[in-house]
């Protein structure tokens, strides 16, 4: 391949890089693994004869999907399936994101609660749902990746969709989200148990991911979650409001260092899910732009 051809291919790949990163992030729930998958896609592109490829963007998307599927299957084979308490890498940005790249990421974000559900899917189901439902890839193009017929691939996506759609639709109005989150924060700061119960759905689920420690846990029910949130009181003065995957969240910064990140799923019945990441190693990398 000539230098000019290589340069042209590199330019076309760079045009697709953001899209491919978005696909890989939704497939893997990890920014570092997503970046690795995109880089592997570039290496495969360099090794392939694409002269007969009419839609390079579509070709790159399916190659990235295949790489991600292999990674997910490898996780499963090694017994590294996500634990119930695992919180996928959150996309954290400030409420005012003047950086155009950050604005583009935020506009293209997907809720953290959805990523948690995607983590529970079988690898082939996740691929079929992500590529078809989130990126409009035809089942005919997905089928060869999962080694199924288009009809069977459609069933994979359908099963995944039922899991994803099982919960009430979340509140998308940022103003309303902020009202609820600030009411939660105020009640926690004041040790107001009844105030916490007022903003929590009775069946709220709290998922706490503390990394490689024994502090990770699931807490179910408004009374149990409210009792734990009272302990959040000492951290409350150090909290700032941020965007977590496009939704209002809270970042605790005692001594200026990220200690915990909380994301909320809010519906008409209140806060239905809280995902808390307190793995300091991951937080250091994930909150640099916030």
- 156 CB-near residues (< 8 Å, 6+ apart): 122, 124, 125, 127, 128, 129, 146, 148
pLDDT given at position 4: 47
- What is the value of pTM for the model shown? 0.87
pLDDT given at position 98: 52
pLDDT given at position 101: 56
Residue pair 64/144 in contact by the 8 Å Cβ criterion = no
The whole-angstrom distance between residue 110's C-alpha and the CA centroid of its chain comes to 6
The pLDDT profile of the chain, 290 residues, written as one tens digit per residue, is 544 466 788 899 999 999 999 999 999 999 999 999 999 999 999 998 888 888 999 999 999 999 999 999 998 777 665 678 899 999 888 877 555 555 555 555 688 889 999 999 999 999 999 999 999 999 999 999 999 999 999 999 999 999 988 766 777 788 999 999 999 999 998 999 999 999 999 999 999 999 877 788 999 999 999 998 887 777 778 899 999 998 999 999 988 889 899 999 999 899 999 999 999 888 887 765 44
Would you tell me how many other CB atoms lie within 10 Å of the CB of residue 177? 22
pLDDT given at position 263: 95
Tell me how far apart the alpha carbons of residues 229 and 189 are, in angstroms, rounded to a whole number.
9
- Measured CA to CA in angstroms, residue 289 lies from 95, 276, 283 at distances of 11, 18, 11
pLDDT given at position 285: 76
- 62 CB-near residues (< 8 Å, 6+ apart): 131, 137, 141, 142, 145
Tell me how far apart the alpha carbons of residues 254 and 260 are, in angstroms, rounded to a whole number.
9
Q: Is 202 helix (H, G, I), strand (E, B) or coil?
A: strand
Tell me how far apart the alpha carbons of residues 206 and 219 are, in angstroms, rounded to a whole number.
5
Would you tell me how many other CB atoms lie within 10 Å of the CB of residue 78? 8
Per-residue b/e over 206-225, b at no fewer than 16 CB within 10 Å? bbbbbbeeeebeebeebeeb
Residue pair 268/223 in contact by the 8 Å Cβ criterion = no
- Can you point out the beta strands (E) in 170-255? 200-209, 217-220, 239-244, 247-252
Per-residue b/e over 30-55, b at no fewer than 16 CB within 10 Å? bbebbbbbbebbbeebeeeeeeeeee
Tell me how far apart the alpha carbons of residues 90 and 77 are, in angstroms, rounded to a whole number.
25
Token pair of 242 as six digits? 């941020």
Residue pair 131/23 in contact by the 8 Å Cβ criterion = yes
Residue pair 85/214 in contact by the 8 Å Cβ criterion = no
Tell me how far apart the alpha carbons of residues 145 and 63 are, in angstroms, rounded to a whole number.
9
pLDDT given at position 170: 77
């Amino acid at each position: 391949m000539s230098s000019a051809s290589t340069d042209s291919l590199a330019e076309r790949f760079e045009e697709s890089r953001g899209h491919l990163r978005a696909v890989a992030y939704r497939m893997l729930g990890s920014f570092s693994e997503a970046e690795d998958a995109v880089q592997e896609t570039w290496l495969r592109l360099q090794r392939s004869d694409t002269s007969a490829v009419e839609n390079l963007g579509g070709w790159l998307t399916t190659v990235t999907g295949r790489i991600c599927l292999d990674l997910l299957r490898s996780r499963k084979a090694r017994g590294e399936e996500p634990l119930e308490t695992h919180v996928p890498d959150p996309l954290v940005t400030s409420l005012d994101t003047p950086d155009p790249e950050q604005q583009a990421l935020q506009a293209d974000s997907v809720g953290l609660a959805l990523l948690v559900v995607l983590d529970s899917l079988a690898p082939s189901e996740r691929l079929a749902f992500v590529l078809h439902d989130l990126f409009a890839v035809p089942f005919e193009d997905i089928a060869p990746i999962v080694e199924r017929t288009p009809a069977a691939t459609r069933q994979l996506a359908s099963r995944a969709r039922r899991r994803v759609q099982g919960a009430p639709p979340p509140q998308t109005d940022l103003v309303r989200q902020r009202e609820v989150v600030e009411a939660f924060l105020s009640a926690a700061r004041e040790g107001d148990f009844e105030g916490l119960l007022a903003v929590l759905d009775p069946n709220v689920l709290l998922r706490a991911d503390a990394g490689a420690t024994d502090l990770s846990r699931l807490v179910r029910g408004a009374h149990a979650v409210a009792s734990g949130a009272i302990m959040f009181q000492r951290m409350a003065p150090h909290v700032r409001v941020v965007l977590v995957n496009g939704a209002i969240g809270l970042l605790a910064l005692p001594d200026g260092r990220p200690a915990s990140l909380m994301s909320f799923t809010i519906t008409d019945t209140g806060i239905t899910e809280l995902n808390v990441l307190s793995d300091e190693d991951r937080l250091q990398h994930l909150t640099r732009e916030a």
